[in-house]
A and B are shown apart, each in its own frame.
Chain A
């Protein structure tokens, strides 16, 4: 009985919404023409399904967490330099421990962002673009999956194109809980993400409107531990280095994309679940 009670308590702790918040600096899966802002008046709708999991490192407690995220993104080229966007995700989490399950699901926090073109050069042989980004997580999400605080993201995106080769770089720093953190809650740790994506387009057919592009993303992500009264908490903070091969299929204004992200090395502080592979399938439509 005591053992069951202990497990329920442990499960409750680890499965709490604060245990694995959505990292805000984590560059968001599959290259997104990072530094190349869209044309004025262009609308881009994007939907993805992301399936990810975490496992107990030592498999002692048979503990795991499966998470399914369905983000919807709307992006608009307000001017040729300024891009505005928002992301609303559905978040389904299932925590399992020794056959017992705890589920949490609902709308995640609303994320709004702005990207501004500071540099763009287009020549016959190459294109380079650089755009800083400013975004904010607004704690509008469902009680079970919301971060319950305002998070700020500052980022820098750069893209290079030469012939059919593409290189995208996203660097993001997340100031978690810069506002709205309750006094009784620990101060969330900030995070830093670096995502580098290579792609090569292969035209399909003779229409010029279809291409297939293998993509390789290299991602490093690090989050600093949460703090309570200025003291670092034991079971928080991690670094993950991952590789993600993928494919992007473009038909005119429609893009279908998919990738699998494998952690290569990772280090979690204290008792935390280890990150597993992430599967992503997405669709993008431009208007």
Chain B
């Protein structure tokens, strides 16, 4: 597609430039594909979060589908947190905590703030 645009724009690239561009494109696509494959599965179901060890907090400030990753990354640094899933549409984060460890609400609120969001009520 990119090359079609170049042709439409009348830009003729020489062989070296084409090689350069092709290499860059392949690197970008490769990195994206590899990192995409290594991401944790998105198919988290509600069932994963049922039970006494699930905390749910309101989170304000998430405004896009890509916002949850930064928050979940910070949640993962809290001792006792097994997993978390944030939703920009529901404006919540669900946190699965280990039954063996005590997870402080303030730690979760602090992680939300470090993600540049604002914690609301604890819903569960």
Quick one: which of A49, A53, A208, A253 contacts B69, CB cutoff 8 A? A253
B9–A124 CB distance below 8 A: no
Chain A residues closer than 8 Å to B39, beta-carbon distance: 252-253
Chain B residues closer than 8 Å to A283, beta-carbon distance: 28, 32
| A210 CB–B CB distance under 8 Å | yes
B107 to chain A minimum Cβ distance, whole angstroms, is 14
B64–A211 CB distance below 8 A: yes
Give the size category of B's interface with A. Answer: 35 or more
A105–B17 CB distance below 8 A: yes
CB within 8 Å of A: which B23-61 residues:
24, 28, 31-32, 35-36, 39, 42, 60-61
A254–B32 CB distance below 8 A: yes
A120 to chain B minimum Cβ distance, whole angstroms, is 6
Chain A residues closer than 8 Å to B36, beta-carbon distance: 254
| A209 CB–B CB distance under 8 Å | yes
A122–B2 CB distance below 8 A: no
Complex-state Cα separation, A250 to B87, whole angstroms: 14
A208–B87 CB distance below 8 A: yes
CB within 8 Å of A: which B90-104 residues:
90-91
Can you name the residue of chain A whose Cβ is closest to the Cβ of B25?
Answer: A49
A39–B32 CB distance below 8 A: no
Chain A, residues 91-121, CB within 8 Å of chain B (1/0): the string is 0101000000001010000000000010011
| A203 CB–B CB distance under 8 Å | yes
Question: Given A39-B114, A39-B116, A120-B116 in contact, is the A70-B21 Cβ separation under 8 Å?
Answer: yes
Can you name the residue of chain A whose Cβ is closest to the Cβ of B64?
Answer: A250
Complex-state Cα separation, A70 to B31, whole angstroms: 16
| B79 CB–A CB distance under 8 Å | no
Quick one: which of A117, A201, A207, A286 contacts B42, CB cutoff 8 A? A207
Complex-state Cα separation, A203 to B115, whole angstroms: 23
Complex-state Cα separation, A277 to B40, whole angstroms: 40
Complex-state Cα separation, A105 to B12, whole angstroms: 13
B9–A279 CB distance below 8 A: yes
Question: Given A124-B60, A211-B64 in contact, is the A39-B74 Cβ separation under 8 Å?
Answer: yes
| A87 CB–B CB distance under 8 Å | no
A42–B73 CB distance below 8 A: yes
Question: Given A77-B70, A124-B91 in contact, is the A51-B24 Cβ separation under 8 Å?
Answer: no
A40–B64 CB distance below 8 A: no
A206 to chain B minimum Cβ distance, whole angstroms, is 10
CB within 8 Å of B: which A71-92 residues:
77, 80, 90, 92
B40 to chain A minimum Cβ distance, whole angstroms, is 10
A70–B11 CB distance below 8 A: no
Can you name the residue of chain A whose Cβ is closest to the Cβ of B115?
Answer: A39
Chain A residues within 8 Å of B, Cβ to Cβ: 36-42, 45, 47, 49, 51, 53, 66, 68, 70, 77, 80, 90, 92, 94, 103, 105, 117, 120-124, 127, 129, 161, 166, 201, 203, 207-211, 250-255, 279, 281, 283, 285-287
Can you identify 19 A-B contacts, CB atoms within 8 angstroms?
A38-B116, A39-B73, A39-B74, A39-B114, A39-B115, A49-B2, A66-B11, A90-B20, A103-B14, A122-B61, A124-B91, A127-B60, A127-B63, A208-B88, A208-B89, A251-B65, A286-B66, A286-B69, A287-B73
